Amino acid sequence: MPVGTQATVKGLSQRDLWDELGARIILGNTYHLFLRPGHELIRNLGGLHRFMSWPGALLTDSGGYQVFSLSGLRKITDEGVTFQSHLNGDTHKFTPASTVDVQVALGSDIMMVLDECPEYPVSHEYARVSMARTVRWAGEAFTHYRQWMDASPTRNALFPIVQGSMFPDLRRECTRHLLELDADGYAIGGLSVGEPRPLSLEMVEASEPDLPRDRPRYAMGVGMPNELAEYVARGIDMMDCVLPTRNARNGWLFTSEGKVVIKHARYRDDPGPLDPACGCYTCRNYSRAYLRHLFQAGEILFASLATRHNVQRYLDIMREIRESILAGEFPRYLDTLRRGIE
């Protein structure tokens, strides 16, 4: 799922995403949209789909992660989290119920519960207290959500989030509690917070066996291109990551032959496409030399062309994975991938 933090995937139009790249679901960030332009304004303009003219599905996070990573002073209580806006210092409060209300106002198709995402590393004791709070908040969010759903003609999903820092026992305990909510899908959060990569996969392994097989599982905030199949191998269906878009803007491009850091002098007069195996608009029409020139000159077209390619690369990898699963060849696909990395 490409990340559209501020109701836009930076550098791409909705036509690029939908028609050309074939994206069908993107993310919006509740924290950012709550602060600016405000969820009430978006509701009054017909919801986020209409506001940004997006024909596909939208998933919104609860804002919790950004509160913990971006905002200034913040205070966590059992009720929720009070924080200062990173834009102007205003004080706001998120509770499990209020973040559902904000996401309902946005008209999100898949909403996330408010959770606490602890930094890395934390003690087992802190992680346990924090995990218990996340479980309690998920219960409160679901109570509020079910009341709203009973009165609503639409069907929007709410996913709880498995936490527990890097402790398998806490991950398992959290998962078991959240199962009682009988949710439409489950997310695994608290990953990509600075832990070594193998540990992220281990935490998914700890949570996954207990999650219902017939519901989507969403690993939040992962991963590098060669990790996507590893998450799928561990039962993950959905992922989001800012890497393809953020790295694109920094000139770091993912290709079928590995990464290309476009500023390197070796691409100065390289007439070839960025990725000969890629069918995106950028690769069909422009040389590495031209892309490098745009990057060096600080031209905004670079961000657009680079983002288009990186998003295509991620979506292509997921298409390859889906096709290999349907053909019964995923184990071989994974094996080839692992050999290539060694």
Find out whether 200 and 223 touch, Cβ atoms under 8 Å. Answer: yes
Tokens of 59: 């998933």
Instruction: Identify which of residues 30 and 282 has a Cβ nearer to Zn ion in the complex.
Output: 282
Residue 293 one-letter amino acid: H
Find out whether 64 and 99 touch, Cβ atoms under 8 Å. Answer: yes
CB 310 to Zn ion: min, Å: 8
266 Cβ contact partners less than 8 Å away, ≥ 6 residues apart = none
Stretch touching Zn ion by CB under 5 A, among 75-83, 209-217, 224-232, 305-313: 305-313
CB 306 to Zn ion: min, Å: 9
Stretch touching Zn ion by CB under 5 A, among 7-15, 89-97, 228-236, 280-288: 280-288
Q: How far is it, in rounded angstroms, from Cα 195 to Cα 292?
A: 33
Exposure string for 27-37, b = 16+ CB within 10 A, e = fewer: bbbbbbbbbee
Site for Zn ion in 156-185 (CB under 5 A): none
Q: How far is it, in rounded angstroms, from Cα 57 to Cα 210?
A: 27
Instruction: Identify which of residues 204 and 248 has a Cβ nearer to Zn ion in the complex.
Output: 248
In angstroms, the first-to-last Cα distance of the chain is 27
CB 281 to Zn ion: min, Å: 8
Residue 280 near Zn ion by CB under 5 A: yes
Q: Which of 16, 115, 240, 275 is catalytic?
A: 240
Q: Quick one: which of 309, 311, 316, 333 contacts Zn ion (CB under 5 A)?
A: 309
Helix (H, G, I), strand (E, B), or coil: what is residue 210? helix
Site for Zn ion in 220-239 (CB under 5 A): none
Q: Quick one: which of 127, 236, 278, 321 contacts Zn ion (CB under 5 A)?
A: 278
Q: Which of 16, 61, 275, 316 is catalytic?
A: 61
CB 247 to Zn ion: min, Å: 14
Find out whether 161 and 187 touch, Cβ atoms under 8 Å. Answer: yes
Residue 283 near Zn ion by CB under 5 A: yes
Instruction: Identify which of residues 217 and 309 has a Cβ nearer to Zn ion in the complex.
Output: 309
- Say whether 240 is catalytic: yes
Q: Which helix H or strand E contains 84, and what residues bound it?
A: strand 81-84
Instruction: Identify which of residues 144 and 309 has a Cβ nearer to Zn ion in the complex.
Output: 309
Instruction: Identify which of residues 211 and 278 has a Cβ nearer to Zn ion in the complex.
Output: 278
Find the angle CA(335)-CA(234)-CA(224) to the nearest 5 degrees: 70
Stretch touching Zn ion by CB under 5 A, among 114-122, 160-168, 193-201, 275-283: 275-283
User: Of 12, 31, 20, 26, which is closest to residue 72 (Cα–Cα)?
Assistant: 31
- The footprint of Zn ion (CB under 5 A) covers 275, 278, 280, 282-283, 309
What residues are annotated to the active site? 61, 240
